[in-house]
Amino acid sequence: MAEPLPPALFRRWVRAREEEEAGGPRVYRPSGYPLPPARGRDGIELRADGTLLEWTAGPVDAPVRSAPGRWTGAGPARLRLFPVGGEATVVELVAATDDLLQLRWP
């Protein structure tokens, strides 16, 4: 039986590029986390029902939500993301706590 995903995973996450290291995983913080000012931040939202939402900076740097895509499990600590209008991608779940999400993208 596959290990259950951590409940902390299921929320809206904002990318914290300033915390990333070259070659390392992408770093995300929960929406509302005190991050330094930045010109638009992208993000991701995973819901327990398999819904995937992507957030991008809009014309005035306010977040704009994508149409709902979906996600599924893809093995231990892996997620397969199916964004709307995009190609399916398998990402590695490196960490998911109440205040930190790390995903390694291909």
Residue 74 has pLDDT above 80, yes or no: yes
Retrieve residue 82's tokens.
């199916």
Residue 1 has pLDDT above 50, yes or no: no
Is residue 75 in a domain?
Answer: yes
Q: What is the CATH number of the domain that holds 58?
A: 2.40.128
Q: Tell me, what amino acid is at 14?
A: V
Is residue 35 in a domain?
Answer: yes
> In angstroms, rounded to a whole number, what is the distance separating the alpha carbons of residues 41 and 32?
12
Is residue 80 in a domain?
Answer: yes
> In angstroms, rounded to a whole number, what is the distance separating the alpha carbons of residues 46 and 34?
20
Measure the CA dihedral 30/33/35/37, to 10°. Answer: 100
Is residue 97 in a domain?
Answer: yes
Is residue 82 in a domain?
Answer: yes
Q: Give tens-digit pLDDT for 29-50.
A: 999 999 998 877 899 999 999 9
CB-based contact 15:42 (threshold 8 Å): yes
Is residue 14 in a domain?
Answer: yes
Residue 4 has pLDDT above 60, yes or no: yes
Count of domains observed in the chain: 1
Its domain, for residue 44, covers 7-104
> In angstroms, rounded to a whole number, what is the distance separating the alpha carbons of residues 32 and 82?
25
Is residue 2 in a domain?
Answer: no
Residue 102 has pLDDT above 70, yes or no: yes
Is residue 1 in a domain?
Answer: no
Which pLDDT does position 40 carry in this prediction? 78
Q: Give tens-digit pLDDT for 47-71.
A: 999 999 988 876 666 667 777 899 9
What's the start-to-end Cα distance of the chain, in Å? Answer: 26
pLDDT band at 9 (very low <50, low <70, confident <90, very high): very high
**Percentage helix, strand, coil for the chain under 3-state DSSP, each rounded to 5:** 5, 45, 50
